[in-house]
Structure 1
Amino acid sequence: MAEHSPSPTPERAIYGFFLYITTYLVFGLYIMWAFLPDSILNYIGITYLPQRFWVFAGPLYCCMTLVFVICFYIAWNFFKTPQLNSISTITDQFSRKVPYNKEMNLEYIQADQVPRLGDLDIRTVNKHLYSRIPN
């Protein structure tokens, strides 16, 4: 099975060109429907069309739906975000606590040693970040 890549291929070029032409064709038909009078459209043979109300209402509904979706997405993120004093902002089900002993303290780790992989306790982080006074 071939690996997917973003590089251009002849198939993608054909699909892209087809979509490019189709987009301009549909936009041209929309503009014709919006600006040509019904008598010219009937003469061409186009007899069934939606009401002219939808010339403006359709794009406005689409734009307002997009605005609503963006606002709903932002509100949903605010709703799902835990409060700052919640324990889930510090730890979750994937947290790995490092067993604490004085030899593993961050101040006493040698330059050539790598500490054990795990999440640091918030008290330790605050102690190391905020307990020293800068020079």
Structure 2
Amino acid sequence: MVEKDPTSPVSPLAPFPPLPPTESRSRAPEFYGFVAWTSTYLLFCLYLLWALLPDEYIICLGISWFPNREWAILLPAYSMVLVLLTYFTYFALALSGTPPFSDISTITDSRAHLPPGGGENPYFAHARPNSVSQMYDIPIGMVNRVIYGSRRNRAVQESARP
């Protein structure tokens, strides 16, 4: 019995893309992550000390100039406004780029694979026994007829209701 290579493309357990051997991988991202994590905590601690310590303690540490304390409130407030404006801007850009419901691009696009017109309906070819027909996208009108029925059938059903 021949065993499959664990990176074989036919093996469902193979990682894709295959990982490089461990000796060739760089550990630089780990160090960068640790430095970023450490510096973030250090800056946050310095921010808290600046915001909460009285002026005498900061001057005793040898710091002769530091920003006004009102910035301890203004920086987080401005940051939150900036984040909210960023979300609002992306939401507005997404809305402005969305076509109206009456546009045909909400139903289909240039990649749609529709059958050629004329002749026998290619969708009926699927009903033949042992048939392997072409693969096409289903038009929205046909989907609506299957799900909701035709207008004529709905009119008959609605008129039959008491």
- TM class by shorter chain equals 0.7 to 0.9
**For residues 7-26 of structure 1, what are the alpha-carbon distances to aligned partners after superposition, in whole Å with 9 as ceiling and x for unaligned?**
99633332222222212111
After superposition, where does 1:32-51 map in structure 2 within 5 Å?
32-51=49-68
Give the aligned residue type for 1:31: L
Secondary structure at 1:102's aligned position in 2?
A: coil
- Percent identity (aligned): 29
Mean CA deviation greater in 55-64 or 118-127:
118-127
Change over 3 Å in CA distance of 1:65–1:113 after alignment to 2? farther
After superposition, where does 1:88-127 map in structure 2 within 5 Å?
88-100=105-117, 101-106=119-124, 108-110=126-128, 112-127=130-145
2:125–2:131: 8 Å Cα contact kept in structure 1? no
TM-score (norm 1): 0.76
Which structure would you say has the larger RCO, counting Cα contacts within 8 Å and 6 or more residues apart?
1
CA RMSD of aligned residues (A): 2.9
1:97–1:119: 8 Å Cα contact kept in structure 2? yes
Mean CA deviation greater in 124-133 or 24-33:
124-133
In the alignment, structure 1 residue 26 sits paired with structure 2 residue 46: no
In the alignment, structure 1 residue 68 sits paired with structure 2 residue 77: no
Secondary structure at 1:57's aligned position in 2?
A: helix
**For residues 39-91 of structure 1, what are the alpha-carbon distances to aligned partners after superposition, in whole Å with 9 as ceiling and x for unaligned?**
22122121222221110110111111111211222222222211212111122
CA drift at 1:31: 0.6
Give the aligned residue type for 2:98: T
Aligned length: 130
Change over 3 Å in CA distance of 1:79–1:53 after alignment to 2? same
Please say which structure displays the higher CA radius of gyration: 2
Distance in 2 separating the partners of 1:65 and 1:87:
36
CA drift at 1:111: 5.4
